[in-house]
C-alpha cells in the first residue's frame, strides 16, 4: 500500500513514519511540515556503499548529491556514514563546510560556476572540481596559480546517451548545457589541454545521464563510452585517468505501480561492465564515484499538510486544498511529477475517491497532483504526501511570501527539528 518501506499504520489508524505517528508530529510541529526518516537515509546510503564493497572491492566512493536535500544535519549524517558529497553551488559548499564535512570528499559541479565559487572551493580544499567547459578550466587555472594550489579536477562529459526520462532532467545527450561533447571531439581536445596544465591535476572523467532512470542499460552504456575515452586518452596521450564518476539518477518508487530495480543491482551490473571493458581495453580499473541524490533522500521523506477548503465541482473534479503547495513542492507544476497521498488520520480507511490536491498559492497550476486516490478528506484532516524527501525542500520558495516549512527528522522513536520553520520576520529580513 505504501511507496516507502518506512511508512505504516498504527493502532489509531494513523500513518506512521519511522514508527512515529504523523498526526502527532503535525500537532507538535505544525503544518506544512517536512519529515525525514534518519534511519532510512542511512540505510539507503549503506545500500550503495555496501554494494560498492561487494561488487567493486570498495574501490569507489558514494557521493550523496546534496542538491536533492541539503541542510547541516543532512551533511552530518552523510559524513558520519563515511560517504562523500556532491555540491552544485557555493551555498551547498558552504553548508558542507559549516557542517564540518570532510571537504576532500566533496565534488563541486555546475555548468556556470563563478570565480567566487571556484575560489571558495579551492580555498576550502574541495576534493574534486568537476569542470564543465573550457572557459571554466582557464578561470580555474588562473585561480589555482594565484592561490598556489593544484586542484584535482574531473571533466564533465556528455556521453551521448539518451536515457528515458523527462526532458528537463535528461542531461547525457549532445543538446545539453552540461559538459563537453564527446562526438565532436570537444572532450578530447579539452583533455589534451588539461594534461599539459601545470596548475590543475586532471584526475578523472564524469558523466551524469539524467534523473529518475529505471533502466540499468543506459548506465552500462555510459560506463562503456567513458571507458572508451579513458583508453583513447591512455593510448594517444599516454596519460592515465584514474577516476571515473558515473553520476546519479537512480529511479525510485513515487507511485504504487512503479517498480524500480533495487539499488544494489546498479553496481552489480555496472561494475561487471567496467571490469570486462577494462580487461578488453587494457586499462586499469578506475576508482569509481557515484552520485545518488533522489534515491537516498526521496523515499525517506514525507510532507504533512492540513486540509482547508474542499470544493466539489459536479462532473468535473473535487479540489482538496492544503496549507502548502508549489512553494514547498513545485514538482507537479514543473514536471507533472506524481505522488501518492494519504489522509494521515484515516490511513486505515479505503482511498475511496480521486481528487485534485491544490495548494494555497495564487496560481491555478499550484497543484500537488490530479486524479489522486485519497480517503475522504475534510477540513482539518492531515494529508501526507509520500516520497517528498528529495527536490522538495531544496526546490522550495517563498512565492506569495509564504514562510518555508520546518524540517523534522525522526530517528528511533524520537523527533527533532533540523530546519526551523521560517517566521514572518524571516520573510522581510533582507528588505530595506
Residues within the interface to ligand PLP (CB under 6 A) = 65, 67-68, 86, 109, 208, 211, 247-250, 291-295
Instruction: Establish how many alpha carbons lie within 13 A of residue 99's alpha carbon, considering only the half-sphere containing its beta carbon.
Output: 24
| Nearest distance, CB of residue 92 and ligand PLP, angstroms | 11
Burial tier of 16 (Cβ tally within 10 Å: 0-12, 13-18, 19+): buried
| Nearest distance, CB of residue 200 and ligand PLP, angstroms | 19
Question: What residue has cell string 543532512?
Answer: 74
C-alpha grid cell, residue 372: 489522486
Sheet of 20-21: strand order equals 7-9, 15-17, 20-21
| Nearest distance, CB of residue 169 and ligand PLP, angstroms | 7
Strand locations in 66-172 (E) = 84-87, 106-108, 128-131, 152-158
| Nearest distance, CB of residue 60 and ligand PLP, angstroms | 15
| Nearest distance, CB of residue 297 and ligand PLP, angstroms | 8
Nearer to ligand PLP, 359 or 389 (CB): 389
Helix pair angle (90-98, 115-123), 10° resolution:
20
Nearer to ligand PLP, 20 or 62 (CB): 62
| Nearest distance, CB of residue 207 and ligand PLP, angstroms | 9
**Neighbouring residues of 431: CB distance < 8 A, sequence distance ≥ 6:** none
| SS3 category, 99 | coil
| SS3 category, 145 | helix
Give CA–CA dist 119/114, Å, rounded.
9
Q: Are strands 84-87 and 106-108 parallel, antiparallel or unpaired?
A: parallel
**Neighbouring residues of 315: CB distance < 8 A, sequence distance ≥ 6:** none
Alpha-helical segments (H) within 22-114: 22-29, 38-56, 72-80, 90-98
Catalytic residue among 278, 327, 362, 386: 362
Q: 329 vs 33, 38, 87, 365, CA distance in Å?
A: 11, 21, 21, 12
Instruction: Give the DSSP H or E segment for 292.
Output: none
| Nearest distance, CB of residue 55 and ligand PLP, angstroms | 19
Nearer to ligand PLP, 88 or 419 (CB): 88
Q: Are strands 353-358 and 367-374 parallel, antiparallel or unpaired?
A: antiparallel
Nearer to ligand PLP, 291 or 366 (CB): 291
Nearest Cα to Cα of residue 287 among 350, 231, 344, 245: 245
C-alpha grid cell, residue 145: 596559480
CA angle 253, 257, 263 (to 5 degrees): 35
DSSP 400: G
Nearer to ligand PLP, 84 or 405 (CB): 84
Is 362 catalytic? The answer is yes
Give CA–CA dist 55/77, Å, rounded.
24
Strand partners, 84: 63
The residues annotated with a catalytic role in the active site are: 362
Amino acid at each position: 500500500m505504501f511507496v516507502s518501506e518506512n511508512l505504516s499504520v498504527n493502532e489509531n489508524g494513523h500513518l506512521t513514519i519511522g514508527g512515529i505517528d504523523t498526526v502527532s508530529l503535525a500537532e507538535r510541529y505544525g503544518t506544512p511540515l517536512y519529515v525525514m526518516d534518519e534511519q532510512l537515509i542511512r540505510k539507503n546510503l549503506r545500500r550503495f556503499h555496501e554494494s560498492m564493497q561487494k561488487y567493486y572491492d570498495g574501490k569507489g566512493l558514494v557521493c550523496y548529491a546534496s542538491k536533492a536535500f541539503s541542510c547541516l544535519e543532512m551533511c552530518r549524517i552523510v559524513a558520519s556514514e563515511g560517504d562523500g558529497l556532491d555540491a552544485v553551488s557555493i551555498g551547498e559548499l558552504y553548508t558542507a563546510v559549516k557542517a564540518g564535512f570532510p571537504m576532500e570528499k566533496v565534488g563541486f559541479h555546475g555548468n556556470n560556476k563563478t570565480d567566487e565559487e571556484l575560489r571558495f572551493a579551492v580555498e576550502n580544499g574541495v576534493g574534486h572540481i568537476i569542470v564543465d567547459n573550457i572557459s571554466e578550466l582557464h578561470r580555474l587555472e588562473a585561480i589555482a596559480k594565484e592561490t598556489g594550489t593544484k586542484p584535482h579536477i574531473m571533466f564533465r562529459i556528455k556521453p551521448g546517451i539518451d536515457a528515458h526520462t523527462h526532458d528537463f532532467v535528461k542531461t547525457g545527450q549532445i543538446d545539453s548545457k552540461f559538459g563537453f561533447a564527446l562526438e565532436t571531439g570537444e572532450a578530447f581536445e579539452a583533455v589534451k589541454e588539461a594534461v599539459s596544465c601545470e596548475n590543475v591535476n586532471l584526475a578523472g572523467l564524469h558523466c551524469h545521464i539524467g534523473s529518475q532512470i529505471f533502466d540499468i542499460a543506459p548506465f552500462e552504456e555510459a560506463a562503456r563510452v567513458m571507458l572508451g575515452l579513458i583508453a583513447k586518452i591512455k593510448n594517444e596521450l599516454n596519460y592515465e585517468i584514474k577516476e571515473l564518476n558515473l553520476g546519479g539518477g537512480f529511479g525510485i518508487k513515487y507511485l504504487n505501480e512503479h517498480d524500480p530495480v533495487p539499488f544494489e543491482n546498479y553496481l552489480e551490473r555496472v561494475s561487471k561492465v567496467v571490469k570486462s571493458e577494462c580487461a578488453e581495453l587494457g586499462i586499469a580499473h578506475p576508482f569509481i564515484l557515484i552520485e545518488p541524490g533522489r534515491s537516498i533522500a526521496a523515499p525517506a521523506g514525507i510532507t504533512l499538510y492540513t486540509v482547508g477548503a474542499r470544493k466539489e465541482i459536479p462532473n468535473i473534479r473535487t479540489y482538496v486544498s492544503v496549507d502548502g503547495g508549489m512553494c514547498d513542492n513545485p514538482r507537479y507544476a514543473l514536471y507533472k511529477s506524481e505522488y501518492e497521498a494519504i489522509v494521515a488520520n484515516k490511513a486505515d480507511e479505503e482511498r475511496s475517491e480521486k481528487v485534485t490536491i491544490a495548494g494555497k498559492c495564487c496560481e491555478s497550476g499550484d497543484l500537488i497532483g490530479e486524479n489522486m486516490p485519497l480517503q475522504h478528506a475534510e477540513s482539518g484532516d492531515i494529508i501526507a504526501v509520500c516520497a517528498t524527501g528529495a527536490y522538495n525542500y531544496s526546490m522550495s520558495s517563498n512565492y506569495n511570501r509564504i514562510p518555508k516549512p520546518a524540517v523534522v527528522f525522526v530517528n528511533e522513536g524520537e523527533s527533532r527539528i533540523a530546519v526551523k520553520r521560517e517566521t514572518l520576520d524571516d520573510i522581510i529580513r533582507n528588505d530595506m
